[in-house]
A and B are shown apart, each in its own frame.
Chain A
Amino acid sequence: MCKNPYIPHTATVEDTWYETGGDRCIKTFKVVFDDGKVRDQWSHLPGQCAMIGVLGVGESMISISCSPTEGQFLRFSVMRMGKVTQALHELEVGDKMMVRGPYGNNFPVDEWQGKKILTIGGGIGQAPLRPIVEYVRANQDKYEGLTMVYGARTSNDLCFKGEFEEMSKCDDLSCHLTIDVEEEDWQHNVGFVPQMLLDLDPSPENTIAITCGPPIMIRFVLENLKKLGFEDEQIYTTLENRMKCGIGKCGRCNAENMYVCKDGPVFSYAVLKETPEAFA
């Protein structure tokens, strides 16, 4: 029988921690494939996703939130929402997770060489943006600069807090954090992400802007990026839809004539503009 793409590989959870608390908490997993051959053959680029799950419960398409430059492991940040993510949240260090992938297209990070990169994330939307950030940092000489804007409702809803605190002290990149509402002990900006973007007033020249987050934030960020003079081709985002097979067969993830699992999840605004269903 030809190789079966539906069969997942086992991976062991090397490390896991909670990024946020509450009902819809976010847990990050660092996993390593058990099979050495799979580890060696695996190759992914920022933007791609994988189907992760637990046998007997199901699978979910989650973005790979690490860059290949970081090592031979995979990171996933999962928000606890339903049956599968609940089962995933019960995994601890040493447990097994089933993973198959990588699926989807990637951010054209190599095409972006020589440009300035601006990432604008909200809440868990930072998970697919993180690999871009790490990739650019690992290949700094090839890019003109890196600016990150990231916000959440409260400081407890911010992901990758430790990494951000460390990054805000670095010279090689510009990191801007914000939360929606004033909080005690909060050292950084207060305000919505789209407004912060306007306040920063980044120049669109030779810049690529990538945004990811809740739909309402994306809508205003897109509006503001246009106000700042960004062209459609300079703006990228990711779409998500309910997915089952991940390989373009089961039919449900399509946004008009594009399958989000294969033609996406990365799309430039130039493409999305023509696709009313993408904004449904």
Chain B
Amino acid sequence: MSAMLLSKEKWPEFVGKLTGKSVWAPQADGAEICFAPVGENEEVILDYNNTRVPPKGALFPQTETMFKFEIGSNQVEEPQLDQDVVVLGLRPCDARAMSIVDKLFKWDIDDPYFVKRQEKTTLVGLACNEPGLNCFCTSVGGGPASTEGLDVLMADLGENYLVEALTDKGKALLDETKDFLEDADDDAQKQKEKLAGEAEEKIKRSVQTEGVPEGLPGLWEDPLWPRVSASCLGCGTCTYLCPTCHCFDIQDETEGIDARRCRMWDSCMFDEYTLHTSGHNPRPTRKERTRNRINHKYSYYVDKFDVIACVGCGRCTNLCPVNIDIIEILRQVKEAL
């Protein structure tokens, strides 16, 4: 399907047409912008750099019921996931992250919750015209107009959005809303490419990944790890706000006789992440945990799935309370290699 144009004036109607689906889009939440279900007449904000919390919750919610049961019985009831969801206006890095995590959730055995949500979710991305201060998507295989993981890609051309369907699901969405779309000409296409090129030029910070996945294991005892992890607080900010981080905990929770087994985000930076019941902890200090995190993203994931598990969104750097900067860490890694 060729590219279409959606004028910004028609945008609210376009959103309104997506009835019957739950629409997740960036909305104002006090001073913050975050992805939330769009209610009637609620404004969707597309003029933002990136949200603090990535929309990975659409496919992998922070807390998810796996099944319900009653104490004393051994019958379980699985949750119904019937709602179709459209995530509007996510950045290409966040969508690419979902396709990276997809590889693990479908490794050998399909994770039923992730897969079911993915089947029911359409991802409509918005290409970036301005990178953030700590964005480095181009260093790790992404880009401001990357299409990986998206069903539809929109580009902000000023008065209009250029809208391209990339998958069957995307085509179906655009079919539904075709009343608001017009054909786009080559100029619009060229303008989008020009904007994407300009955005790429504006990316100031970068990392060198050549040789890093192969070389990282060799740096096991390198003094760079105690150096970069000395100030780490061991909180979960970098992991929870990372679009590719996917580790979770499974807990049984009871309230009277009602109970459920649920899973929730967990962080490899927490002390108790690998704590054995015997008291032994193979990663007792923040040095080991930091080393494991960087190795996992830039080496182990590459070993298994051929892709670096980092999309260069910069959130970990932006939000780390003590300025532990992944770009700086990788610079030191490259230096040590």
Contact = CB atoms under 8 A, between A and B. Distances in A.
A4 B274 contact: no
Contacts of B277: 81-82, 85
B300 A257 contact: yes
A202 interface: no
B264 to A, nearest CB: 11
Interface string B102-143: 001101111110011000000000000000000000000000
A2 B282 CA distance: 35
A7 B71 CA distance: 16
Given A55-B69, A244-B249, A254 B296 contact: yes
Nearest to A96: B74
A242 interface: yes
A250 to B, nearest CB: 5
A58 B278 contact: no
Nearest to A3: B112
Contacts of B268: 251-252
Nearest to B221: A276
B11 interface: no
B227 interface: no
Given A1-B112, A10-B74, A241-B282, A55 B250 contact: no
Contact of B299 (A4, A56, A257): A257
Interface residues of B, number: 51
Given A55-B259, A85-B277, A257 B303 contact: yes
B266 A242 contact: no
Contacts of A59: 250
Contacts of B246: 249, 251
Nearest to A85: B277
Contacts of B110: 2
A231 to B, nearest CB: 23
Contacts of B104: 248-249
B190 interface: no
Given A244-B249, A250-B266, A252-B274, 19 more contacts: A1-B112, A1-B116, A4-B67, A6-B67, A10-B74, A55-B261, A58-B251, A58-B252, A85-B277, A215-B280, A240-B276, A241-B274, A248-B104, A249-B246, A250-B248, A257-B295, A257-B304, A280-B282, A280-B283
Interface string A194-214: 000000000000000000000
B252 A55 contact: yes
Interface string B213-252: 0000100100000000000000000000000001111111
Given A81-B277, A242-B276, A252 B112 contact: no
Nearest to A240: B276
Interface residues of A, number: 38
Contacts of A7: 67, 76, 78
B9 to A, nearest CB: 41
B254 interface: yes
B337 interface: no
Interface in A51-106: 55-59, 81-82, 85, 96, 98
Contact of B107 (A1, A56, A248): A248
26 contacts: A1-B116, A6-B66, A6-B250, A6-B261, A55-B76, A55-B252, A55-B261, A56-B69, A57-B252, A58-B250, A82-B277, A241-B274, A241-B282, A242-B273, A242-B276, A245-B250, A247-B109, A249-B104, A249-B107, A249-B248, A250-B263, A255-B282, A256-B295, A257-B295, A257-B304, A277-B282
B288 interface: yes
Nearest to A53: B252
A242 B282 CA distance: 10
B275 interface: yes
| A-B pairs with lowest CB-CB distance, top 7 | A251-B247, A280-B282, A82-B277, A257-B300, A81-B277, A257-B303, A4-B112
Contact of B74 (A5, A55, A257): A55
Contacts of B249: 244, 250
Given A55-B261, A241-B274, A251-B247, A262 B108 contact: yes
Contact of A250 (B217, B250, B295): B250
B112 A5 contact: yes
B122 to A, nearest CB: 19
Contact of B108 (A215, A244, A247): A247
Interface in B250-271: 250-252, 254, 259, 261, 263, 266, 268
Given A7-B78, A55-B71, A56-B71, A256 B217 contact: yes
A84 B85 CA distance: 37
A81 B275 CA distance: 13
Contact of B300 (A96, A244, A250, A256): A256
Contact of A252 (B115, B217, B273): B273
Contacts of A250: 247-250, 263, 266
A222 to B, nearest CB: 17
A231 B188 CA distance: 66
B186 to A, nearest CB: 43
Contacts of A96: 74
A66 to B, nearest CB: 23
A241 B81 CA distance: 32
Contacts of B254: 56
Contacts of A5: 109, 111-112
B296 to A, nearest CB: 7
